[in-house]
């Protein structure tokens, strides 16, 4: 009967582990399938074209150039490889400036022919209009509507997924912001976390340890939005006054909040690892004449390095994947930061802020899943790196 029960329990654990693995693989597969769809989308909004005069030699523009043209940042065709001459951007809503209501018709039934004629007689025009609106026999040319390339996403320096005529999906600002905030968060949290761990494990009395340990673990249960409110009310105004910033929402504010959130994890895991160091090793070190501090950093910490590394990994995971707290205190600006005192935006904050507004199945929606893939690989790289360091230390 006992052996049968053991086999039953073993089977339950096996099935549970198998189901968990399958679910994880399905989640990862869904993430990849949705994110990869972005590369099948085209650079110009679906259903629209960019029409130019037939004499214009320019047939290819990057999404950044298209946005700059319609934002009036590029005003001469020579700046994009064409003949020198003014660029005349045209949107469908600009038709009222060129034609009367009577010419366009009550339902814009004549708009397509009129716009085609406008393009034919205006050498510098670039018109963003629905493709079906233009007559098929119009003597006009079109800017190539190619698919989105890898370089435009992974080397792009501007994130503007709702821009028209051509959305921008450059993830460099988001990746930079995520790594920037996470790096400084761990830089702040690591020394404090290790210091508190050493105190609880090696210096504090058992009564003090039993008192402080539940308090530290309780900090893990505080919702992230509460940390965000604390950062917004306390840390942000403080940084604004200390550094004389126009706004206190910055990468530094996000790093401090994330460091506070990561501390309980680092302390709990590292302290457990140090506490499990065999008493015989401590006594042997002290018997050889080492002081308590020499024993700590030459015996206890090297023995516990694997557990400390695990605590750091969990802390980094909390920092890299945090959403609400970072969204509230970093300024949410999708720009490449040059200083930790500047506003920035992280990948998790971007996904949380934009996923609810992105049309399902569209390019914006798929780009957010692609960000999830990038975040997955960032976390995987961090875990593998720390595991390599930990393995080398154990050997």
DSSP-assigned states of every residue in 116-158: HHHHHH-TTEEEEEEGGGS-TT--EEE---PBPPHHHHHS---
**pLDDT attached to residue 117:** 93
**pLDDT attached to residue 158:** 93
**pLDDT attached to residue 52:** 95
Q: Is the pLDDT of residue 388 over 80?
A: no
pTM above 0.85, yes or no: yes
Q: What tens digit of pLDDT does each residue of 201-226 get?
A: 888 888 888 888 888 888 888 888 89
Read off the pLDDT band of 170 (50, 70, 90). Answer: very high
All structural domains of the chain: 49-146 (3.40.190.10), 172-394 (1.10.3720.10)
Read off the pLDDT band of 390 (50, 70, 90). Answer: low
Computed over every residue of the chain, the mean pLDDT equals: 88
Spatial contact of 375 and 347, defined as CB atoms under 8 Å apart? yes
User: Of the candidates 84, 29, 8, 49, which has an alpha carbon nearest to the alpha carbon of residue 376?
Assistant: 29
Would you state the structure tokens that stand for residue 376, as one six-digit string?
Answer: 């997955």
**pLDDT attached to residue 299:** 87
Q: What tens digit of pLDDT does each residue of 70-102 get?
A: 999 999 999 999 999 999 999 999 998 999 988
Spatial contact of 48 and 128, defined as CB atoms under 8 Å apart? yes
Q: What tens digit of pLDDT does each residue of 91-144 get?
A: 999 998 999 988 988 888 899 999 999 999 999 999 999 999 999 888 999 999
Q: What tens digit of pLDDT does each residue of 248-262 get?
A: 899 999 999 999 998
């Amino acid at each position: 009967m006992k052996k049968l029960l053991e086999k039953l329990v073993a089977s339950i654990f096996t099935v549970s582990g198998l189901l968990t693995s399958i679910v994880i693989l399905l989640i990862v597969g869904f993430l990849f399938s949705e994110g990869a769809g972005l590369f099948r989308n085209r650079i110009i909004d679906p259903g629209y074209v960019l029409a130019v005069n037939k004499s214009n030699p320019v047939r290819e523009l990057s999404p950044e150039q298209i946005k700059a043209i319609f934002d009036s940042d590029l005003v001469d065709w020579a700046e994009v490889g064409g003949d020198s001459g003014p660029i005349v951007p045209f949107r469908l809503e600009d038709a009222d400036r060129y034609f009367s209501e009577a010419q366009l018709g009550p339902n814009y039934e004549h708009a397509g022919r009129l716009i085609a004629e406008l393009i034919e007689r205006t050498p510098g025009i670039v018109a963003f209009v629905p493709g079906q609106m233009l007559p098929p026999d119009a003597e006009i040319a079109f800017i190539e509507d190619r698919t989105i390339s890898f370089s435009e996403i992974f080397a792009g320096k501007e994130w503007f997924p709702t821009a028209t005529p051509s959305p921008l999906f450059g993830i460099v600002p988001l990746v930079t912001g995520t790594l920037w905030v996470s790096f400084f968060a761990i830089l702040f949290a690591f020394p404090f976390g290790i210091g508190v761990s050493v105190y609880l494990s090696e210096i504090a009395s058992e009564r003090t340890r039993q008192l402080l340990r539940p308090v530290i673990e309780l900090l893990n249960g505080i919702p992230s939005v509460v940390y965000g409110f604390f950062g917004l009310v306390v840390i942000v105004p403080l940084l604004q006054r200390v550094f004389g910033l126009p706004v206190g929402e910055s990468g530094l504010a996000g790093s401090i909040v994330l460091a506070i959130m990561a501390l309980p994890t680092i302390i709990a895991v590292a302290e457990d690892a140090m506490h499990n160091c065999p008493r015989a090793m401590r006594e042997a070190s002290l018997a050889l004449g080492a002081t308590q501090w020499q024993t700590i950093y030459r015996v206890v910490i090297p023995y516990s390095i694997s557990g400390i590394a695990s605590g750091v990994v969990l802390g980094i995971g909390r920092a890299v994947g945090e959403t609400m707290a970072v969204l509230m205190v970093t300024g949410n600006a999708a720009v490449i930061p040059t200083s930790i005192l500047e506003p920035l935006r992280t990948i998790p904050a971007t996904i949380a802020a934009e996923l609810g507004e992105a049309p399902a199945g569209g390019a914006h929606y798929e780009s957010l899943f692609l960000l999830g893939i990038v975040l997955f690989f960032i976390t995987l790289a961090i875990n593998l790196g720390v595991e390599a360091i930990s393995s080398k230390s154990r050997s």
